[in-house]
Structure 1
Amino acid sequence: MTALASPERGGTGGRPGLFRRNEIGPALVAGAVIFCLILVAVLAAPLIAPADPNLPDLMAVRKPPSAANWFGTDAVGRDLLSRILWGGQVSFLVAGVGMVGSICLGTLMGMLRGFGPGWLHPIVDRIIDIQLAFPYVLLGIAITSVVRPSVPVLILLMVLAGWAAVARVVRAIALQERAKDYVKAAEIIGASRLRIAAFHVFPSVWPSLMVLAAMQMAAMIVFEATLSFLGMGVQPPTASWGGIMLDGKNYITTSWWLTLLPGIAIMMTSLSLVLIGDGLEARAERLRSREADK
């Protein structure tokens, strides 16, 4: 029992606490503030959007930003600010579900590689290698050429594009933890592989998963915008950030706001998530160093 609670195990006394006070760096704070502001604005779209995002006004086609329309209007006179706010809801929903799906599938596959039966190990390794070698845009083209693009299809593409990177990280951590004394001690006292993986090793994987979740969310936001911009994502008239940029690409030289402003929304959201991920990673490193010095 002493071995199971040792610092090497990463237990209560040794595992770096993820939410310990006075360990939050400036990158994490800045990223969290920016992300929360964007998220609140997007969620409050029904309250703060100045117009119906799908209501055209042929008398106000491609009007530049002004007091009447802060972000201007698009090619059919729809208010761009309203479309960006409402489109953010779709982009966040699709990217969020895609991120959760990729994290869950990747964690499952990584833990199977670490603690599953031996005959399964090479199969999981080859599946991960194949998925990592397959370009996600090509994967999107292949799938959308068979089925009609839709939100469920887009989420499926995100899960398929993101799970392998998560599985590789989880696999590395699981194999590293499996060689430690606390796992061997648990095996000696008769704990099953499932119990060891779920209750002893997974808590050590969790901090890395939080970093991966932030990074994956940023990647999913860009992925959704890329596929929608290529016409393989959210379909009109539903607004999404990538779809808004697609609508404005033909007017990029004359109506710069149609692509620049949704592009800034994508950039700021991705930047905030990357800052959160970097801040969480730096915080985990500081805590690990502190525990190692004790």
Structure 2
Amino acid sequence: MSTGVVLLTVMVVSAIAAPLLAPSGPTAVDLSSVKLSPSLDHWFGTDAIGRDVLARVLFGGQVSLLVASAGMVGSLTLGTVMGMLGAFGHRFVRPVVDRAIDVQLAFPYVLLAIAITSAVRPSTPVLILLMVLAAWAGAARVVRSIALQERGKDYVKAAEVIGASKLRIAAFHVFPSVLPSLMVLAAMQMAAMIVFEATLSFLGMGVQPPTPSWGGIMLDGKNYITSAWWLTSLPGLAIVVTSLSLVLIGDGLQARTDAARLREGDE
């Protein structure tokens, strides 16, 4: 887990400090420096119109991380609400939530993205909406499963006996038990959102140029993959390192959560 924290810290700090670390602006064009390979002057090389790839990767990290964070928070929020409704909602509401989760999990997110972007112009808000719609069901299923387990425990039954409402039980008694799993899910979802953003941007359905994002930078370099490998490999490496760091953090949090539950079971 510590390795993941270090890697993620490096990536986040690099993105935040992009104006200080980047040798130029992400959209600065220099036609005399087209497709230069990595060197001391241009550590990540330049692209087909002379833009510095390091600058674009650093500034693209700001965009990719912010968009992925927004998608993660939105999907977890919606998923938590729907999961709690699936566990504590009215008996007519619970089947509706269950079917909505099943339908969403069965529907390929790429088809959903194509359907939505064919109806509206691709943009960053649309990309975030796609992320939320694609990922909320997984979070809802996890929250619903844990909430149903907790609902059968004595402390919940005691709260019901003294007259506590379902909303109070869900928010103040059950949600603290769900929170550790949500933290694990947040790390995993964030990693998935980074890949999701890169995928849609690479397909032209995500962040639109001239705003740089890791997926968009790879899209710009796909036609030169054999002659200028750095145009796709280096932003791809940024995606891999960031996603790997989040997965390592998620695994570490999961191990701690499991250990805590084992201790509670022994007690």
TM-score (norm 2): 0.99
Matched, 1:266 2:239: yes
- Secondary structure at the aligned position of 2:34 is classed as coil
Q: Which residue in 2 is equivalent to 1:196?
A: 169
| Other-structure match for 1:97 | 70
Cα distance in structure 1, aligned partners of 2:170 and 2:259: 25
Identity %: 72
Which amino acid in the other structure matches residue 103 of structure 2? I
The amino acid of 1:100's aligned partner reads V
| CA deviation vs aligned residue, 1:1-44 (integer Å, no higher than 9, x gap) | xxxxxxxxxxxxxxxxxxxxxxxxxxx11111110111000000
SS, match of residue 66 in structure 1: coil
Distance 1:290 1:216 in 2: 27
**Map of 2:143 onto structure 1:** 170
Task: Name 1:139's counterpart in structure 2.
Answer: 112
Match of 1:180 in 2: 153
- Following the alignment from structure 1 to structure 2, what is the Cα–Cα distance between the partners of residues 122 and 271? 37
- Which residue of structure 2 lines up, in the alignment, with residue 20 of structure 1? none
- Aligned counterparts of 1:133 and 1:55: Cα–Cα separation in 2: 44
Asked if 1:123 corresponds to 2:96, the answer is: yes
Matched with 1:207 is 180
The CA RMSD measured in Å over matched residues stands at 0.6
CA distance in 1, matches of 2:265, 2:188: 26
- Give the whole-Å Cα distance in 2 for the aligned partners of 1:178 and 1:292: 17
- For residues 76 and 84 of structure 1, what CA distance do their matches in structure 2 show? 15
- Provide the rounded CA distance (Å) in 2 between the counterparts of 1:157 and 1:292: 40
Matches within 5 A, 1:75-86: 75-86=48-59
How many residue pairs get aligned? The number is 267
Aligned residue for 2:105, secondary structure, equals helix
Residue 110 of structure 1 aligns to which amino acid in structure 2? G
Q: What is residue 148 of structure 1 aligned with on the other side? A: 121
Q: Does 1:159 align with 2:132?
A: yes
Residues 236-264 of structure 1 show CA distances to partners (whole Å, capped at 9, x for unaligned) of 11100000000000000010000000000
- For residue 289 of structure 1, report the CA deviation from its aligned partner: 1.4
Corresponding residue to 1:231 among 182, 196, 204: 204
Residue type of the partner of 2:19?
P
CA shift for structure 1 position 287: 1.7
Tell me the SS of whatever aligns to 1:118.
Answer: coil
- Matching residue within 251, 262, 267 for 1:289: 262
